[in-house]
Amino acid sequence: MTKNTPRFISYLRVSTDQQGRSGLGLEAQKAAVSGFLAGQQEALVQEFVEVESGKRSDRPELAKAVAACRAYRAVLLVAKLDRLARDAHFLLGLQKAGVEFIACDMPSANRLTVGIMAMVAEEEARMISARTKAALAAAKARGVKLGGFRGRAGTLEDVAKASAAKREKAAERAEALAPIFSRIDPEASLTLRALASALEAEGVPTVTGKGKWTAAGVARVRERLAMAG
C-alpha cells in the first residue's frame, strides 16, 4: 500500500443478537466491502461489528470506528447507507466531525445527495409510523383488541414499534438471503415454486425460521429485496 492509497475502516451492523451470533447479514456486508476494495484488501485497516438497532445513535462500536478513522485518517466504509444510520441529523453530524464515509451501494454519492437521501429515509420512516398508528387506531375503534405488553395493555405506540421491529427483522433476513438467491438463481429465471424447492433442498431456513419454503414466501423475499434496491 503506497503512501497515497486511501485507508478504510469498515463498519458492519446487524440488528439482533441472534443475527450477530449466526452471521446473518454480516457475510453479505463483508462480501460487499471486499467487492468494493477489489484487489486492495491491505487498505482495510480495521473492521468493527455492532449488534444494535440503526435507530440508536449511542453505538459504541461505531464510536470506535469513527475514532479509528480520525487516528488513521481513514475513510469509514459501510456496505449500505442504512447500515450506518437512518437518522439524517446523525449522518450530517458525522460529516461535520470531519469523517469521510463511503457506502458500497452508493460509492459516487456526495455529501449533498447522502444528506438528502438520509432525510428522505427519515421522513419515510415517520410516514410509515404515522400510517401504522392510524391503522391501529381504526382497528381499535372497530373493537379489535390489541395485544398486551409485559402484563399491560399495549398502546398504539407499543404496537407500532413492535410492527416496525418485525418489518426491520424481515428486511434484515431478506438481505441475508440475497447472496443465496443469486447463487441458486443467478438469472432470476426460476419459478417461485422451483426456487422454493431448491431452498428446501439446501436446508436454508425461511425468514421466520419455521415451516417450509413456499412460492409465496419466495415472492415476499424478492419483493423486499426489490424495495431495498
Q: Is the pLDDT of residue 218 over 80?
A: yes
**Angle formed at CA 149 by CA 21 and CA 205, multiple of 5 degrees:** 35
Give the pLDDT confidence score for residue 115 in this predicted structure. 67
Highest mean pLDDT among 40-44, 57-61, 149-153: 40-44
Alpha-carbon gap, residue 66 to 60, rounded angstroms: 10
Looking at per-residue pLDDT, the higher value among 169 and 85 belongs to: 169
Which residues are within 8 A (CB) of 26 and not within 5 positions of it... i.e. 6 or more apart?
A: 12, 14, 19, 20, 49
pLDDT in tens, 99-149: 888 888 888 766 666 667 667 766 776 777 788 778 777 777 777 666 554
Residue 85 has pLDDT above 60, yes or no: no
* Residue 214 pLDDT: 92
Q: Is the pTM of this model over 0.75?
A: no
Domain 8-112 has CATH 3.40.50.1390: yes
Residue 50's nearest CA partner among 81, 25, 70 is 25
Task: Name which of 100, 114, 112 is nearest 6 in CA terms.
Answer: 100
For residues 205 and 177, give the distance between their C-alpha atoms in angstroms, rounded to a whole number: 9
Q: Average the pLDDT over 68-84 and give the result.
A: 81
> Which of 27, 25, 29, 7 has its CA nearest to residue 16?
25
Mean pLDDT of the chain: 76
Three-state DSSP string of 37-57: HCCCHHHEEEEEEEECCCCCC
More confident of the two residues 113 and 76: 76
Q: Is the pLDDT assigned to residue 61 strictly greater than 90? A: no
Q: What is the pLDDT of residue 82?
A: 63
Domain locations along the chain: 8-112, 145-228
pLDDT for the residue numbered 57: 57
